[in-house]
Structure 1
Amino acid sequence: MPAFAAMVSHTKLTFDHLTSMSDLCRTIKDQFPDLTENLIRHNSLIASRFSLPHSAVKQFVLDPQTQSWICCIGNPRSASLPGQGQTLAANILRQYLDHGPSCITSLDAPFVVAIYDSVQHSFHLATDRVGLQHIYMATIDGATIFATSALAIAAITNPSFDKASLAHYFSIGHLLEDRTLFEGIKKIPDATWLTIDRTGLKTAKYWTPPHESRLMPPKLLASELSHTFTSLLDQRLDNAPVSIELTGGHDSRLNLVAALRCAKPFQGWTIAENNSAELAVINKLRQVVDFPHQVISPVKGLEDSFLSDLDQINTLTDGETNALNLIASLACNRQTNPQRLASISGMGGEILRGFYYITHMGIPNSSSSIYFDRIISLKMLPHIGFTPAIFSDFFPPDHHQLLRDSVRTYFDRTAGQNLFWRLDDFYFRARQQRFAGRSCSFNSYFYRTEIPFFANDIIDISYRAPWKLKKNSRLVRQAIELCNPALAAVDMLNGRPARPFHLTDTHKMIAYYARLTQKAFTRMRSHLLKTTSPAHDPVGIQALIRKKLCSPQLISDVLNYNTMSSAFLYDSKQFHQFLTQNAKADFPNLYQLGLILSFELTCRQLRRSSSRLNIAKFEPTAPVFSEQTVAANFK
């Protein structure tokens, strides 16, 4: 997880500014002691870049003629600019000096690029199209600060919690758009070019999504997708040793068939136990085409490090996700870390498969109406187990309306576009910017994250593709079959082939739709009888989590209301009753408990950081960011 911090002032940096910057960097180093720091300083700007041994770019790159510099955070790639790592960074800087902001339009996520232009006396920050690589900003003592960690900024600015953000976090499990958990700290959004110069602070969008195109024949579009995906994998497999995460679904199947088409070495890996259904799918694939593969146990060594792992996950994700939900990933990353420099993930593949379409099925495509409550109830709230009664008066009573207003505000900006295009855009820039972004930052601590579904060319295809072709994964299935017909014929975890059904698949079609009907019946029955079906637990991780949640150590150390740093958020009686009922019923509200645990760890980390920095307490309200706070005579 590479990190970055910078402070920009309209005048010469003062002693107080330098002290705050030192505290900010110290907080980041305390969070991640194995980071290597490089620092660069000017009269009105100071910046630090933190790297890991596997980081693609490890330090600032300086232009010898102008003394301008660039810092790349994340793992940027470019289809048009040559090189990787430091070489690519130097080429981006040269492109900027020659042509300006267009230097970053060809870069694939995840990245943040920081540039200091010594000729124009200006500072620039650019985020990737998705906003996967997170970077935040706030103000302190008249200066603007930037950092890849909102928690680190919060440790030196002492903000209050943002109540609307807490409502989002506990009701849907993640934040939306530029919100953070804190007042006065904002995430710099996706596809943003930010400039601070003598005229002040300005932001602009450097990319807008293309419109849906119905002119390209489906077969031609599927051919473009398969060819583009293969080219992307071919480039990413050069970072040997490379692993590919394999599951029983569409997205990892497309990664696999494209990688095999490249004929370059890679190591497949799957989080599973030997008797799991997912591993059975992988074994069938290896019977058709043999490839190296490793099975990773998600529970190996986890029981002894459960609490410390939760704390590390929460730190790596900046307190913005459910640490309990990622508990197996940390154990798996530790086991595979020495064996790979980079890992290719199927994250984000739903952009080609209509993630939110189910919320508007049966609504004519000509309609532009967005049914906010259906999106929230069908795709945002399920499985969270949100329980408003446990919260105190601090938690906003109008939490549902706050969430609805946020969703409405987002869709208001895409008014006039095709209905399903708007749903895809919401998935891509509202959900994935925060949800996938935090998974990305978590994994990048262990290896370089390669996410081909978020490459610019794939993003363009996903927006241009007609919604009917993306519905039910038709486009992805066709692309898989074009890459490798034999592997496309192997059934996925859901029991159907990874390609479109053929006329010879009658028996498979009958079995597949029978299973769908049975699942729908089971859900309806559970809803009517208000019962909860046992969670599917093929690798035993859920059983281990439930065991640890019942342990006296966790309850006394983390979930004891009388000693909790986050106790202000809960009603003591209702909170105790919630925990007791969950323990008796085998934790039906497991996801909500994970959010409670994660927020408690966030509050504890803030108290630890404040104590180390000699800040009295973590409570006062921070100044709300305003573009006018950057004065005109920046130099």
Structure 2
Amino acid sequence: MSGFAVIYNRHTPLAPQDEKFTTFRRDVVDFKQVGGNVHNAVGSHCAAAKFDTPSTRHHAIVRDAQTTAWLIATGTVLHENAAPDWGLDNLLRDYLETGQRVLTDLDGTFALAIYDPHTNKLIVATDPMGFTSVFYGQQNNRTYVATSALAVAKAVHALPDEYGVSHYLNVGCVYGTITLWSNVRRLPPGTLLEITPTGVTEIHYWRPSLDPAVMKLSLADTIDYTEALFSRLTARHLTSEAPMWADLTAGFDSRLVTMFLAQQSVPFRASCQGPVDSPDVLISMRIAKSLGWDYQHHILPDDWGQQRPAYLARVLGKADGHLDVFKQSSVIWDQDQRAPYATTSVWGLGGEVWRGTVWKQEFWNTGRTRTPNYDRLLSYRVMPSLDPTLFRDPQCAARVRSGVKRHLKSIGDEFADWPNTAQLDRVFTYKATGRSGAQMSAVMGLQRVLAPLNFKESISAAMSIHFRWRQHSRLVRHLMARVNPELAAFPTTDGGPALPMCLSNITKFRRYWISIGKQLVRKASQATLGYSILPPLRDEFDSYPLARWRRETLDILARDNILNIKTMRSAALYDPERLAAFLQTARNDDFKQEPLLSRIITVEMALRTLDTAL
């Protein structure tokens, strides 16, 4: 993958060696760590730079000799008219002839910038799911656009946005256009930004759609339809990507993706990261060995607590300050290990829609009403219960919750005439941009990620399939049993195999139903009482020395006074005494709020990086 930086000056032409553009371009490289081959392009009122890395698919800048128009692409643009060498000359010509309609034919994980000198128009487009992050901000007559939020924030001298920061601290990511900064927006999924001398406009070019005919299919016909769909998408879009990495855990989604890679004879190396006794590692190893798949296990080094601080600043920039730097640092470490073999990875993101997990909290109302329970959605799946007294304003969490509820409801209302399951599917695909999209963008320069379960045809199909066939992973179980029964027979972390449930094998799913019951009790008690009456699930990484690593990392961070309450740039957000107590307990073995601790550190590092404060 690569990245880009663009400046458009609406009122006056831009000098070829504009000093602000030079600084902006350098900041994108520094924050995103995409130093490599740099390609430049200019227009009457704009200048652009594209940064190619070893993971780049679409190299350099596409230029039209006749019109001097140009196109920049980062990520993976899946286009029917793409050249065998993945060149996008045809795409640029199609755009010049037909305009933005050409975008509706695209799929993949990408961002585009196209300049047409005839109209002096610049458009910047996100992929249909918005998994490649693009940010923009304005200062005076200039619009700054880049794949780095921090670079844009620095260029427009943005101040921290208190709601954006509070949203991140309470939810763990940010949704839609929200960032940590005022005057910096993230471009939404399936959207183009049109910039001309007369103004800046956001235009939606794609949204998921539902097919009533698919919804009426029987289970048997749905299995046929889904197998044909995944076989076709895998053959069309992934066969030319080999060699590649493919995530493989003990869950359903990565197993589903690797199953179709194997079916289509696409070479891949499966990988799993975690302690040697993690169920994900143990089961994925067994699967790979039994099926003869190439496999590599990655385990964090024993001194990770001391190594991790060196990753934090790097992770901050690569993830735009939108992801937990503790957790994401292990992801970046993992991508470093992968790079020598291949720079393309296939992830199993998006399987939740296929397996009906996004509307479990509707219980008996599933598919029976057009009114989703958004309060329950927030309590069960969006906002974990945090101690509101940690914040100086005790209403902070309530305010964020109210804002998130309005935001997600506005997205679900796009399908207001459909059952609650369709509305919640739409909400999930939208909010996935906040975390999954940030993760994909964070590994830019190390790995170019594809998520076939999130191709737009796949998502529209999943949302169209009747909810009954997706409950309890019913469709996926039948699909696996048909395509690769040996793979389906292996256990899952949910409990029981990935086989269809029936009377003859019901005893194999005892652990599954017990797990479902315990999960319901945990979430219900957390939502109603503020705490779970059952102990938390065993974390897949519990065998790592997490407490020791946390203390070692905190000791190193203390040298820079990152969490010194007297000098913290974000101190205004917190109750001083409560925060001091929280930070003290963070050194205990039984500390359970490491994600929140890491988010606090992330915000503090972001404010320091741009030399600002709340």
Secondary structure of residue in 1 paired with 2:276: coil
1:358 is displaced (CA, Å) by 1.7
Report 1:130-145 matches (<5 A).
130-145=129-144
1:338 is displaced (CA, Å) by 0.5
Match of 2:57 in 1: 56
Match of 1:108 in 2: 107
Secondary structure of residue in 1 paired with 2:371: coil
Match of 1:586 in 2: 590
Whether the 8 Å contact between 2:547 and 2:587 is mirrored in structure 1 is no
Match of 1:95 in 2: 94
Aligned residue identity for 2:443: N
Match of 1:448 in 2: 448
1:534 is displaced (CA, Å) by 5.8
Report 1:22-61 matches (<5 A).
22-31=22-31, 32=33, 34-61=35-62
Aligned residue identity for 1:468: R
Whether the 8 Å contact between 1:108 and 1:454 is mirrored in structure 2 is no
Q: Distance in 2 between matches of 1:191 and 1:287?
A: 40
Verify: 1:552 aligned to 2:555, yes or no: yes
Verify: 1:187 aligned to 2:186, yes or no: yes
Secondary structure of residue in 2 paired with 1:159: coil
Report 1:251-330 matches (<5 A).
251-286=253-288, 288-299=290-301, 302-330=304-332
Match of 1:241 in 2: 243
Whether the 8 Å contact between 2:177 and 2:185 is mirrored in structure 1 is yes
Secondary structure of residue in 1 paired with 2:411: helix
Match of 2:508 in 1: 508
Q: Distance in 2 between matches of 1:86 and 1:462?
A: 28
Report 1:595-614 matches (<5 A).
595-607=599-611
User: Once structures 1 and 2 are overlaid, which stretch shifts more, 392-401 or 226-235?
Assistant: 392-401
Q: 1:309 to 1:424 in 2, by over 3 A?
A: same
The gaps in structure 2 that reach 5 residues or longer are: none
Verify: 1:387 aligned to 2:387, yes or no: yes
1:8 is displaced (CA, Å) by 1.5
Secondary structure of residue in 2 paired with 1:562: coil
Q: Distance in 2 between matches of 1:188 and 1:522?
A: 36
1:61 is displaced (CA, Å) by 0.5
Q: 1:123 to 1:84 in 2, by over 3 A?
A: farther
Match of 2:220 in 1: 219
Verify: 1:488 aligned to 2:492, yes or no: no
User: Once structures 1 and 2 are overlaid, which stretch shifts more, 121-130 or 575-584?
Assistant: 575-584
Whether the 8 Å contact between 1:395 and 1:569 is mirrored in structure 2 is no
Whether the 8 Å contact between 1:251 and 1:346 is mirrored in structure 2 is yes
TM-score, scaled to structure 1 = 0.88
Secondary structure of residue in 2 paired with 1:561: coil
1:451 is displaced (CA, Å) by 1.0
Report 1:158-173 matches (<5 A).
158-173=157-172
Q: 1:511 to 1:377 in 2, by over 3 A?
A: closer
Match of 2:119 in 1: 120
Match of 2:155 in 1: 156
Q: Distance in 1 between matches of 2:355 and 2:402?
A: 29
User: Once structures 1 and 2 are overlaid, which stretch shifts more, 412-421 or 289-298?
Assistant: 412-421
Whether the 8 Å contact between 2:173 and 2:323 is mirrored in structure 1 is yes
Match of 1:614 in 2: none
Secondary structure of residue in 2 paired with 1:105: helix
Q: 1:84 to 1:271 in 2, by over 3 A?
A: farther
Secondary structure of residue in 2 paired with 1:178: coil
Q: 1:442 to 1:545 in 2, by over 3 A?
A: farther
User: Once structures 1 and 2 are overlaid, which stretch shifts more, 138-147 or 10-19?
Assistant: 10-19
Q: 1:33 to 1:421 in 2, by over 3 A?
A: closer
Q: 1:543 to 1:537 in 2, by over 3 A?
A: farther
Match of 1:6 in 2: 6
Secondary structure of residue in 2 paired with 1:244: strand
Q: Distance in 1 between matches of 2:111 and 2:258?
A: 28
1:458 is displaced (CA, Å) by 0.7
Q: Deviations over 1:109-129 (max 9, x none)?
A: 311111111233321122111
Aligned residue identity for 1:578: F
Which structure carries more relative contact order (alpha carbon 8 Å, separation 6+)?
1
1:198 is displaced (CA, Å) by 5.4
Secondary structure of residue in 2 paired with 1:424: helix
User: Once structures 1 and 2 are overlaid, which stretch shifts more, 513-522 or 413-422?
Assistant: 513-522
Secondary structure of residue in 1 paired with 2:242: coil
Aligned residue identity for 2:10: H
Secondary structure of residue in 1 paired with 2:449: strand
Aligned residue identity for 2:535: S
Verify: 1:71 aligned to 2:72, yes or no: yes
Q: Distance in 2 between matches of 1:599 and 1:548?
A: 18
Whether the 8 Å contact between 1:548 and 1:554 is mirrored in structure 2 is no
What percent of counterpart residues are identical?
Answer: 23
User: Once structures 1 and 2 are overlaid, which stretch shifts more, 539-548 or 497-506?
Assistant: 539-548
Q: Deviations over 1:70-121 (max 9, x none)?
A: 111112223x22336651x212112212322232223223111111112333
Q: Distance in 1 between matches of 2:589 and 2:176?
A: 35
Q: Deviations over 1:136-184 (max 9, x none)?
A: 1211121222111111111122222222222211111111111111111
Q: Distance in 2 between matches of 1:4 and 1:357?
A: 37
Aligned residue identity for 1:230: S
Q: 1:541 to 1:343 in 2, by over 3 A?
A: farther
Q: 1:198 to 1:403 in 2, by over 3 A?
A: closer
Whether the 8 Å contact between 1:125 and 1:193 is mirrored in structure 2 is yes
Match of 1:203 in 2: 202
1:537 is displaced (CA, Å) by 4.1
Q: Deviations over 1:353-378 (max 9, x none)?
A: 22321221212634222322111111
Q: Deviations over 1:282-314 (max 9, x none)?
A: 243245421111111133662332111122212
Q: Distance in 2 between matches of 1:100 and 1:51?
A: 26
Aligned residue identity for 2:313: D
Whether the 8 Å contact between 1:355 and 1:424 is mirrored in structure 2 is no
Aligned residue identity for 2:455: A
RMSD (CA atoms):
2.7
User: Once structures 1 and 2 are overlaid, which stretch shifts more, 349-358 or 527-536?
Assistant: 527-536
Match of 1:352 in 2: 354
Q: Distance in 1 between matches of 2:594 and 2:29?
A: 32
Q: Distance in 2 between matches of 1:525 and 1:123?
A: 52
Q: 1:50 to 1:247 in 2, by over 3 A?
A: same
Q: Distance in 1 between matches of 2:524 and 2:424?
A: 26
Q: 1:494 to 1:68 in 2, by over 3 A?
A: same
1:267 is displaced (CA, Å) by 0.9
Q: 1:41 to 1:421 in 2, by over 3 A?
A: same
Q: Deviations over 1:219-276 (max 9, x none)?
A: 2222222222233333324223211110001111111211111123211111133333
Q: 1:532 to 1:266 in 2, by over 3 A?
A: same
Q: Distance in 1 between matches of 2:38 and 2:543?
A: 36
Q: Distance in 2 between matches of 1:364 and 1:440?
A: 31
Q: Deviations over 1:18-69 (max 9, x none)?
A: 3332221121122226243211112211111112122112321101222111
Secondary structure of residue in 1 paired with 2:306: coil
Q: Deviations over 1:205-232 (max 9, x none)?
A: 2223222522223222222222222333
Whether the 8 Å contact between 1:161 and 1:182 is mirrored in structure 2 is yes
Q: 1:571 to 1:541 in 2, by over 3 A?
A: farther
Whether the 8 Å contact between 1:370 and 1:419 is mirrored in structure 2 is yes
User: Once structures 1 and 2 are overlaid, which stretch shifts more, 553-562 or 266-275?
Assistant: 553-562
Match of 1:633 in 2: none
1:135 is displaced (CA, Å) by 0.8
Q: 1:5 to 1:518 in 2, by over 3 A?
A: closer
Q: 1:556 to 1:122 in 2, by over 3 A?
A: same
Whether the 8 Å contact between 1:223 and 1:482 is mirrored in structure 2 is no
Verify: 1:573 aligned to 2:577, yes or no: yes
Q: 1:543 to 1:301 in 2, by over 3 A?
A: closer
Q: Distance in 2 between matches of 1:560 and 1:532?
A: 35
Q: Distance in 2 between matches of 1:3 and 1:98?
A: 26
The gaps in structure 1 that reach 5 residues or longer are: 608-617, 621-635
Q: Distance in 1 between matches of 2:21 and 2:495?
A: 55
